[in-house]
Amino acid sequence: MRIIPAIDIIDGKCVRLSKGDYSTKKIYNKNPLEVAKQFEAHGIEYLHLVDLDGAKSKHIVNHKVLEQIASKTSLKIDFGGGLKSDKDLQVAFDCGAHQITGGSIAVKDPEIFKSWLQKFGSDKIILGADANNEKVAISGWQEESEEELIPFIQQYQNEGVKYVICTDISKDGMLEGPSFELYKKIIAETKDGSGTLNLIASGGISTFDELPKLAEMGCEGTIIGKAIYEGRISLKELEDFISKI
């Protein structure tokens, strides 16, 4: 299972929110590159970088932060937040994104999202399937759609999606543990002849002990944010976990 720390960006700074609520913003570091370099120094290879300003304004905003981290570390970055057009995607890839995550766009404009899958390939495009009460949430979690989570994922699996990041919003930033039951259900219901979807668990990770459970369950990756910043999980623990895989 891949370990993928998260850096969320508002005004160029590394922040965390609780349940996607912008009023709960807490700044952890004014220099995201410094944070990324700490991750890299502990053997971490991947980074989940979220442009929260972009999610709110519905177009890419913090691409300079992406460019800086991509050019000054060897981290493989998946980038999301406000990607709505081919131009946004081109900017993200030109600035060094390894993959991009599309969430709201996959609900509101499925034809564009499908065209990205065809144009860039399913290794480059991650489906962001963030949920509240098993309904897909969009627009930086400011809106809940009528889309049921698992049929939504299955529909895009049929279109060739290989990677899905699923965040249970009720858990995000709460340090109360991830949605084990939800992930079990997704993995069970997305198995097909070609194997299981690459499910990346996100939201609620609070202790190191949860990571082997997610790995055993079949999650391909897990995104960890606040637990790192609040010192619940140390970078040394993650380094040891990675070295044993």
Token couple for 81: 């937040």
State the CATH number of the domain containing residue 45. Answer: 3.20.20.70
pLDDT one-digit tens code per residue, 62-111: 999 999 999 999 999 999 998 999 999 999 999 999 999 998 899 999 99
In angstroms, rounded to a whole number, what is the distance separating the alpha carbons of residues 223 and 170? 16
Residue span of the structural domain in which 185 resides: 2-244
Say which of 8, 51, 88, 172 is annotated catalytic. Answer: 8
State yes or no: is 8 an active-site residue: yes
pLDDT at 143: 59
Burial class, 244, CB count within 10 angstroms (exposed 0-12 / middle 13-18 / buried 19+): exposed
130 is catalytic: yes
Q: Assess contact for 90 and 84: CB atoms under 8 A.
A: no
Number of H helices, E strands in the chain: 11, 13
Question: Residue 14: phi, psi to the nearest 5?
Answer: -85, 115
Q: Is the pLDDT of residue 188 over 90?
A: yes
pLDDT of 86: 95
45-74: per-residue pLDDT in tens? 999 999 999 988 889 999 999 999 999 999
Q: Position 58: which residue type?
A: K
- Token output for 168: 């249970």
The β-bridge partners of 132 are: 135
pLDDT of 194 over the 60 cut: no
Whole-angstrom Cα distance, residue 118 to residue 207?
38
- Give 120's pLDDT tier (boundaries 50, 70, 90): very high
Question: In whole numbers, what is the pLDDT of the chain averaged over residues?
Answer: 92
Instruction: Give the pLDDT of residue 145.
Output: 66
The mean per-residue pLDDT over the stretch 20-46 comes to 95
- CA trace torsion 85, 160, 187, 192 (10° rounding): 170
**How far, in Å, CA of 171 to CA of 196, rounded?**
24
* pLDDT grade for 171, boundaries at 50, 70 and 90: confident
Pick the catalytic residue: 53, 78, 88, 130?
130
Number of domains the chain is built from: 1
